[in-house]
Structure 1
Amino acid sequence: MSQLEQIIKQRKSVRSYDPQFQIDKREILELLSIAANAPSSSNLQPWRFIVIQNKELQKEIRTLGFNQAQIEESSAIVAVIGDSEAYKNVEKIYSLNVEKGYMDQSIADRTIKQTLNAYPTMPKEGLKEIAAYDAGAIAMQFMLLAKDRGYDTITMGGFDKDAFAKRFDLPDNLFPITLIAIGKALAPAFNTSRLPIESLTTYFD
């Protein structure tokens, strides 16, 4: 079994954390930076983050998260935020691709034009769905990277998203998707079963 397979199987949703254990801010940012290699629609990277490592603020956010203890007791909370206007960064992103030699200018220009023709005309709900889908990819990569370094995580979609957005004065284009607690487990997570993949898959050969 490869190391990646072991990490995937070992990562569980931990709900009990050592409140005294702290992860250095620089390491959290490093984990996010590596996780940001996740794929996204048109490479627009529609994810934003709010990292909360202040215990008083974690206690406050716990009230918005239906009193889930891990929000307050973990080393940090990483809020994954979606940006429904991520397409506005397309020129910056693709100009950097050209600068780094990843593609030539004609491909970048064509992609920029296609993006600016398509995305602004989409319904906002469609743009939010794209951002939420892409956020799932980076959230999973972040949690696997955390496990690889010996940390534990849990992702939480159950919190008052409207109140959270208001608390942090999020503009209309930014919306909270999930909270990820990261820290050191105080008690092991429950093991969990999985349905047989054959019962979930239609296969044509």
Structure 2
Amino acid sequence: MDYEEVVTTRRSLHEYSDEDVSEETLEEIFEQATYAPSSFNLQPWEFLVVRDDDDLATLAEVANGQEHIEEASATVVVLGDTNPARHAEPVFQDWLDKGYIPDEETKGYLVDTVEGMADLPEDERRVWTNRSTALAAQQFMTAAWNQGVATLPMEGFDADALVDEFDIDAAYEPVMLVAVGYPAEDADELQAERKYRRPVDEVVHYDTFDPVEQTTIADGESGDASAPADD
């Protein structure tokens, strides 16, 4: 697909075929996902791919019984590292080797700066890692659809239970779950008309910020506010 087709036809899919997504295909998708931008290029993301049936059942249980988790070929637990300094040394050594920074002193300053971020309050570090990790998750979903693989990003899970059940280090923040699989041949989302999208002239502001008035169902400007915002 070309870029425009990928971004305009990607859907959050709830219905999957029985065909498994191969590890080779997943590796190609993850390779492209890792090109996402991140703060200081620190790439604080990690991905836990859950494929075993029993593990998928466990994951569904901690995710409020969301059945798509077990119906997909795999579900990816997207994790954000709340320790900004974990990969600082190789990242800034690469900057030095490639001439992005002039000398070891500058590298040392950058490493010290990031190590100082590790002392920030937990909430601030969680926000930091969520921002960068969400970029990688979106890139993963776009890269997947370019391979004909559908995805479904999900919230609605017990993060503490997930960490306990899958023995995840406490430094990692579960950011979202992403179901992964080939679409069912008659998947409703692929047949249905595209859901409402707010127009560009309503969401883009030049130089000054002047948001539009909140729309309601009565205005005829938006869909059901109770519907899942997952398209």
Report if TM-score (shorter chain) is over 0.5: yes
Instruction: Give per-residue Cα distances to partners, 1:128-157, cap 9 Å, x unaligned.
Output: 101111111101111111111111111001
User: 2:203 — aligned with what?
Assistant: 200
- 1:59-74, aligned counterparts within 5 Å? 59-74=57-72
CA distance in 2, matches of 1:108, 1:22: 44
CA distance in 2, matches of 1:37, 1:153: 19
CA distance in 1, matches of 2:131, 2:12: 20
User: 1:140 — aligned with what?
Assistant: 138
Using a 3 Å threshold, how does the CA distance of structure 1 residues 121 and 14 change in structure 2: closer, same or farther? same
Q: Secondary structure at the match of 2:75?
A: strand
Return 87-96 or 170-179, whichever deviates more: 87-96
Root mean square deviation of aligned Cα: 1.9
CA distance in 2, matches of 1:34, 1:203: 32
Contact 2:73–2:180, Cα closer than 8 Å, also in 1:
yes
Equivalent of 1:178, from 173, 176, 187?
176
Aligned AA (1:7): V
Using a 3 Å threshold, how does the CA distance of structure 1 residues 108 and 30 change in structure 2: closer, same or farther? farther
Using a 3 Å threshold, how does the CA distance of structure 1 residues 181 and 98 change in structure 2: closer, same or farther? same
Instruction: Give per-residue Cα distances to partners, 1:44-100, cap 9 Å, x unaligned.
Output: 11111110111221122111222222100111111101111132320122223434x
- 1:102 is displaced (CA, Å) by 5.1
CA distance in 2, matches of 1:195, 1:49: 31
In structure 2, the gaps of 5 or more residues are: 209-231
Q: Secondary structure at the match of 1:194?
A: coil
Contact 2:21–2:181, Cα closer than 8 Å, also in 1:
yes
Moved over 6 A (4+): none
**So what's the TM-score if we normalise by structure 1?**
0.90
Larger radius of gyration: 2
Q: Tell me if 1:3 matches 2:18.
A: no
In structure 1, the gaps of 5 or more residues are: none
Equivalent of 1:152, from 150, 153, 167?
150
User: 2:48 — aligned with what?
Assistant: 50
User: 1:188 — aligned with what?
Assistant: 188
Contact 1:45–1:86, Cα closer than 8 Å, also in 2:
no
Higher relative contact order (CA 8 A, sep 6+): 1
Contact 1:52–1:58, Cα closer than 8 Å, also in 2:
yes
Q: Secondary structure at the match of 2:87?
A: helix
Q: Which has the higher helix share?
A: 1
